[in-house]
Structure 1
Amino acid sequence: MPNPLIPGLQIQPLPYHDLLPLRATDSLQTVVVHCTELPDLAMARQYGEKPLYESGTGNSGHFYIDRDGSVYQYVATDRIAHHVRGMNATSIGIELVNTGRYPDWFDSRCQSMQEAYPAAQIAALLVLVRALAARHPSLRHIVGHDELDLEQIPASDDAAITVARKRDPGPLFPWHEVLAGVPLRHAVP
């Protein structure tokens, strides 16, 4: 992996990192903001390490930001991570540690996302996105995972009801603050 983008960045490649396809970084267009929908960074890492595909790779973002503002890089930006359907080849995934709907992601009675994003976490996100935009001038957009994956699925408690497959980063994500602090447009490419 290249030198750290930002001071304090902890580079911790996933075990299958080198199996992820390479890409030209001048093709990058979009930063996708996610939340882990898990209770902590350790569980997010554990989930990201699980091979889910025939290639031996799994689901993971490029960067993870813990609640205290610590930033981790699990996948280099010149590799395609599996974080959003249909846009992995041209996007960078940033995961914010946040419980989201955990542990009942698809229960129709548990769809509210009540954990706020701490100031330290949002400050770290701003620093990271500005550094990414400086390093990769082809980046133009920033968008939430929920704006790209619009699939509705049967609720786990009642198949007659549908719920969003993805809701992250969720209603408490401070878009106004983030957009004021980054040089990218909030737009679905």
Structure 2
Amino acid sequence: MSPDLPSPDRPDLPIAYEPLPYEVRLDLRERAQIDLVVIHCTELPDLAMARRFGEEVLYEGSQTGNCGHFYIDRDGSVHQYASIDRIAHHVRGHNARAIGVELVNRGRYPDWLAAHHQAMDQPYTDAQVDALVALLRWLSLEVPSLRQIAGHEDLDTTTVPATDDPDVLVPRKRDPGPRFPWQQVLDAITLHRVP
């Protein structure tokens, strides 16, 4: 069945399958090794810019870039940029076992690493949260080995010198950030958050 059409397991969750140009160059993996979903925010103003960033080739050897598997726009629409059978580059050290889900949210854009710009104050929309819950429930059926969920900030705790003050260290990753409704999501799914 085409990924952009509803199926009996996900009647209310149409997914637009829009593979990145380099998707076939991402390494394949067995579904049984996938046990983790990582929640991100794009830290960009809109889905179009997230797509442009995702299409950028950053790794010369593989001719691939950084991307999640799924992107959820502010209207709740779900877009799939990479097959879950492929290893996408979205979280250091965990890519082989993880599915990356990106929520469109400006985060710290455009001064991601500036000490004066670390607030992440844009709320997630109800439509995004509803779509995320539906996607996570479907993924739990599609990938029975899934057990855990984490935020990007839970797994990448690296600090770096701030771009506007190198004497100040700031988190390299803060997503999905303080406005993400963790309890609401966890109450609606069977996955357990990584401690």
Distance in 1, matches of 2:65 and 2:2, equals 22
Query: Is this contact kept in 1: 2:35–2:147, CA < 8 A?
Result: yes
After superposition, the Cα gap between the structure-2 partners of 1:53 and 1:2, relative to the gap in structure 1 and judged at 3 Å, is farther
Query: Is this contact kept in 2: 1:141–1:187, CA < 8 A?
Result: yes
Structure 2 counterparts to residues 131-142 of structure 1, below 5 A: 131-142=138-149
After superposition, the Cα gap between the structure-2 partners of 1:104 and 1:172, relative to the gap in structure 1 and judged at 3 Å, is same
Distance in 2, matches of 1:30 and 1:161, equals 32
Give unmatched runs, 5+ long, in structure 1: none
Structure 2 counterparts to residues 35-74 of structure 1, below 5 A: 35-54=41-60, 55-74=62-81
Query: Alignment partner for residue 124 of structure 1, among 128, 131, 138?
Result: 131
Q: Does 1:32 align with 2:61?
A: no
Identical columns (%): 55
Distance in 2, matches of 1:153 and 1:11, equals 35
Q: TM-score if structure 1 supplies the norm length?
A: 0.97
Structure 2 counterparts to residues 4-43 of structure 1, below 5 A: 4=4, 6=10, 7-43=13-49
CA apart distance, 1:3: 3.7
- Which secondary structure does the structure 2 equivalent of 1:32 belong to? strand
Give unmatched runs, 5+ long, in structure 2: none
Root mean square deviation of aligned Cα:
1.2
Runs of 4+ residues deviating >2 angstroms = 1-7
Aligned length: 188
- Which secondary structure does the structure 2 equivalent of 1:31 belong to? strand
Structure 2 counterparts to residues 78-97 of structure 1, below 5 A: 78-97=85-104
Q: TM-score if structure 2 supplies the norm length?
A: 0.94
Query: Is this contact kept in 2: 1:2–1:76, CA < 8 A?
Result: no
- Which secondary structure does the structure 1 equivalent of 2:127 belong to? helix
